[in-house]
Amino acid sequence: MNPSGALRQTHAARAEDHHGSGPGFDAAAELDVVLRAGLLRTAFQPIVDIDSRLPVAFEALARGPEGSPLHRPDALFAAARSVGRLAELDRACQLAALRSAEDAGLGTGWTLFLNTEPEAAGTRRPPTLGGQRGHAVVVELTERALTARPAELLRMVDLLRSRGWGIALDDVGADPASLALLPLVRPDVVKLDLRLVQAQPDAQIAAIVNAVSAQAERDGTLVLAEGIETEEQRATAVAFGASLGQGWLFGRPEPLPATVTRPPADTITLSPRRRLDSGRTPFEVGARRRPVRVATKPLLIQMSKQLEQQARGNGDACVVVSTFQDAANFTPATRVRYADIAATATFVAALGHGMADEPLPGVRGASIDASDPLALEWAVTVLGPHFAGALLARDLGDTGPDAQRRFEFVITHDRDLVVAAASALLTRVAPLRALEPVREPTAPSPAPLSASHPAVPAPRPPVHELASRSGLLARLQTAVDAGRTRGVGAVLLLVAVETEDGTPQRLHAPRALDRRLRAAVRSQDVTLELAPGLHALVLVDVFPGQAEAVAERVSDSVLLALEAATGDASPRVLVSIGASLSPDRASSADEALGQAEDALLLARAAGGDCARIWRRSR
């Protein structure tokens, strides 16, 4: 058995023996039996006051029946996901936890933490259970839940708070998204990802701790450190500002002890949340608290660009939500700016009359009815851990030249007002569509790039023959080694720019191209020109499980940026991108480079203007 890591409902229960499914196992039938017969059980892991070490709460962790192939939570939830019953299972687990706590007599003074699956959160009303014995309830959300279904999740948060339940944001620090979403969720409890107390301190961990400390100072948010297994990790958690702790040092998941019928020596006290200013639209929110001014459109354009620049400066821990009145105002130049922002920001949304649900890759959207008061408004809201700003404007209805149109507007950096304005927009954003699976190549492996292909008449030399290869490998291996030490990964993108006949194309303004490539990545990432028309991008410090999403998002931004750079060039210029992920699919720089080359061949063979991520053939 491996005692590393805290047990989580949505991850493998590492200390439990794995019961193999065996040949002929029918996961759908087994799941149906578990749900119909009510065979779910709940284990409870203690949460302690980190100073006294006394338990003050318990986290409920779902399990399937003992001895079943679905006993482990990862197998249980994977089965539900595969047959479209995830929301049903999620609700059943919550009800089982509430009933188990009720049956055990969990009484006044105690707090029960309930999990919810990201894909299921917000799809159904949370369960209620009469006869609670006075214990408090805190529901744990993740950043994936909010970014997938923001409107539904924000409404669910309001509903839970109306019941007197608390909100915890889980796995904070595992992904930059969790930091960016702190001000929108305004959680009562922040649960630090176990990696933070188990890894060696670095600049990234320091940034996370600073962001969480700022949120705790503003809102009285409690900080809970997960995964504490040693006294040294407990001391680290205290240094991070945690007042609550969870991990095997304090107890493993098991049935509730008999002592829960008596009040605990210490209790969790949740700070009351201020009610944000409400209004149907962002301008209404701002106009109630800030002076309203009047300006013409050119000034507001420059103000909005300055806020967008702040978003780029805040990097991945940033949320940008804007509305443009009409989709026609989401111009090609604006699209390029928002594609650049989306390449790094956690969440970007653009609304307007006629706007698509996803107007750009990585940009969420929603169409506003022409009769909706929001259709008269132009708003840009930017939120980060240490920055908040918003331009909230309303059209005065002038006719005549577009540049002379006047707007009444509010500019604010009041965090509560910016959060309220952004939330008013987020309640309109469409849910994230499920992505169709990417088809694997039919061949066992792609041919090397030097092989001819009818769709690419002029093959380019393989990267391994280029003199610049050694410099790329050195930088890539450094990123891979550093990532392995810190528990993060790297992404390699090979970007080919060529004409339709396969001729490598060095653009007329290479410096402008380099600026556009640099804008698509972060300051710590590396861009290299390997040969005329062939660039490499090394994206470093990518969180586990996020590499593919990062590769797709940056690729989309690069494609759009290069499209803008090439313009109406004749003959037409094609852009192809091949990507490899480390350590997800490559354990060394050489392996990653070979995979990216093969993926680039597939992208070029498809006719260009597309990206491919290398996948193992099945």
pTM above 0.75, yes or no: no
Task: Domain ranges for the chain, please list them.
Answer: 32-261, 282-426, 463-613
pLDDT in tens, 6-15: 223 323 332 3
Please give the share of the chain, as a percent, with pLDDT higher than 90. Answer: 32
DSSP secondary structure letters along 245-314: EESTTT--SBSPPGGGGS--SS---PPPPPPPP--SSHHHHHHTTS--EEEEHHHHHHHHHHHHHHHHHH
User: Which pLDDT tens digit goes with each residue over 314-347?
Assistant: 767 789 999 999 999 998 889 888 888 887 788 8
What is the reported pLDDT for 572?
65
At 410-460, the pLDDT tens digits run 999 999 999 999 999 998 887 765 433 333 333 333 333 333 333 333 444
**Distance, CA of 325 to CA of 189 (rounded, Å):** 37
Q: What is the pLDDT of residue 470?
A: 66
Angle between the 27-36 and 73-82 helix axes, to the nearest 10 degrees? 110
What superfamily in CATH does domain 32-261 come from?
A: EAL domain (3.20.20.450)
Residue recorded with tokens 């008269």: 376
Q: What is the DSSP letter of 434?
A: P
Distance CA 561, CA 336 (A): 6
Least confident among 76-90, 177-191, 443-457: 443-457
Residue 46: per-residue pLDDT? 96
Coil, strand or helix at 227 = coil
Residue 386: per-residue pLDDT: 87
In this prediction, residue 283 carries a pLDDT of 96
Query: What is the structure's pLDDT at 400?
Result: 86
The more confidently predicted of residues 570 and 306 is 306
Q: Nearest-CA neighbor of 357 among 436, 435, 430, 434?
A: 430
Nearest to 21 by CA among 76, 62, 61, 63: 76
**pLDDT at 568 (0 to 100):** 55
* pLDDT tens readout for residues 15-36: 333 344 554 568 888 999 999 9
Contact (CB, 8 A) for 45 and 59: yes
Question: In this structure, are residues 362 and 348 in contact, taking their beta carbons and an 8 Å threshold?
Answer: yes
Distance CA 553, CA 561 (A): 12
Q: Which listed CATH number (3.40.1800, 3.10.350, 3.30.870, 1.10.760) goes with 282-426?
A: 3.30.870
CATH number belonging to the domain at 463-613, selected among 3.40.50.1980, 3.30.70.270, 3.30.70.141, 3.40.190.10: 3.30.70.270
Evaluate whether 282-426 and 463-613 have a shared fold.
no
What average pLDDT does range 221-227 have in this prediction? 94
pLDDT digits over 125-175, tens only? 666 654 456 788 999 987 667 777 787 788 888 888 888 889 999 888 876
pLDDT value at 616 more than 70: no
Beta strand 406-412 with 489-499: parallel, antiparallel or unpaired? unpaired
Category of 53 on φ-ψ map: left (φ > 0), alpha (ψ -120 to 50) or beta:
left
